[in-house]
Amino acid sequence: MSHESAIIVADQIRTNPKTVLGLATGSTPLGLYNELIKLHNSEGLDFSNVISFNLDEYVGLPKNHPQSYNTFMFKTLFSKINIKQKNVHIPNGSSFNLKECDKYESLIKIYGGIDLQILGIGSDGHIAFNEPSSSLGSRTRLKTLTEKTVNDNARFFDNISNVPKYAVTMGVGTIMEARKILLLASGDSKAKPITKAIEGPISSMCSASAIQMHPKTIVIVDEAAAKNLKEKDYYKWVYRNKTNIN
Ligand code: PGA
């Protein structure tokens, strides 16, 4: 999953060195980020003109908190490649205000929109922090996390009571405007949400299902996450017979 997705991201950057990348946090993209770092070191994959926008940030944690997504991004990726700090954008969760959400949306537009958006999927089917019942037209805003998400994220905190309950997140509508989307999922815990997202009805109860309406989304999953897909054999058939026709 990580290797395949790194090929796609690297191709995108080589084709357009000024690519606007939408980035995700969590365990899912870690392998992809490691692959990109390897490509940067071994082949000189150049991030110097890449612009990035992250999907979301916890509200209430200072920027430099060990569990903030700002810290996560610098630790796992930005400090290991040659992206310029001025080109990096992460929603500000330390002093949340709605005007800043609108500013974030405007900034994405000023840079011409997101060329390639990386997504993980939550066990409740969320993309970014668009929890079940999030409007499929939603924009960057404050979101209250579900208890399930708080529990899922507790593994990174000493005590569950320290897990933030709010986040500032791009909306489903924001994500859907990306020109290309790359949704990644691995492991048993993602089998249910990935099946809902790909083969279930389009519903705000699984915000990831909005990708069914997106003109250019690639989903990469491992066997465990794919295990409940009804059309699994067909997807493998498509992959084996893939053409270079875009
Ligand atoms: P994970 O989170 O990559 O840590 O599983 C994904 C998500 O919640 O979107």
Residues annotated as catalytic are 56, 124, 126, 131
Mean per-residue pLDDT pooled into runs of 10, the chain (246 residues): 97 98 97 98 98 97 95 98 98 86 97 98 97 98 95 93 96 98 98 98 98 97 98 95 75
Q: How far, in Å, CA of 43 to CA of 148, rounded?
A: 41
Q: Is residue 6 part of a domain?
A: yes
Residue 127 sits in which domain range?
2-240
- Residue 89 and residue 107 in contact, taking contact as beta carbons nearer than 8 Å: yes
pTM for the model stands at 0.96
Number of domains within the chain: 1
Q: Does 246 reside within a domain?
A: no
Pocket test for ligand 1, best of 1, 23, 25, 148 (most atoms within 8 A of CB): 25
CATH of the domain at 180: 3.40.50.1360
Residue 69 in tokens: 């997504």
**Residue 173 included in any domain:** yes
**pLDDT for the residue numbered 246:** 57
**118 with 32: CB under 8 angstroms?**
yes
Cα(56) to centroid(ligand 1), Å: 12
Give domain status of residue 245, yes or no: no
